Amino acid sequence: MQSADKGRSDKLDGEGLVIGIVQARFNAALTDKIAQACTYELAALGVAERHITHVTVPGALEIAVALKAMADSDDFDALIAIGCVIRGETYHFELVANESGAGVTRVALDHQIPVANAILTVDNEAQGWERVEDKGRDAARVAVEMANLLSEL
């Protein structure tokens, strides 16, 4: 039996990969920081700037539609969803958090393309600020690792 698990350094080699990023503009101060950390990490992993397509959408619920359009194009090795949903006093938080997450997963499964979910769901803005940089870096790593894994399978 041959292992598809070549090792961490190979899995995190982004050279030649084409990555699509969909970023929600709602809570833009936070999502801008996630996107910045993400694109810096993609560059550090060897993804060429010219191979990154970054688009914005109004909010978290619109992310899946743009991801689907990117996936439909067959131009990308992996996609990244960036957003931030902050709990409010109504059920709207649960609706947006659940449906945006389900949409991201559906695109990944329907199109067999890795989609790193960097949509923060937090109780307050302070929690968001604590997580933005790690979430952005993690999303870049997940996208690169999963793109490499799926190309091996």
Give the number of other Cβ atoms within 10 Å of residue 81's Cβ. 28
Q: What is the DSSP letter of 27?
A: T
**Token pair belonging to 11:** 């899995």
**Catalytic residue at 54?**
no
Cα gap 63→82, rounded to integer Å = 8
Cα gap 80→102, rounded to integer Å = 14
Strand partners, 121: 85
Cα gap 141→19, rounded to integer Å = 12
Instruction: Single out the catalytic residue among 51, 54, 92, 111.
Output: 92
Cα gap 65→153, rounded to integer Å = 27
Q: Report the catalytic residues.
A: 92
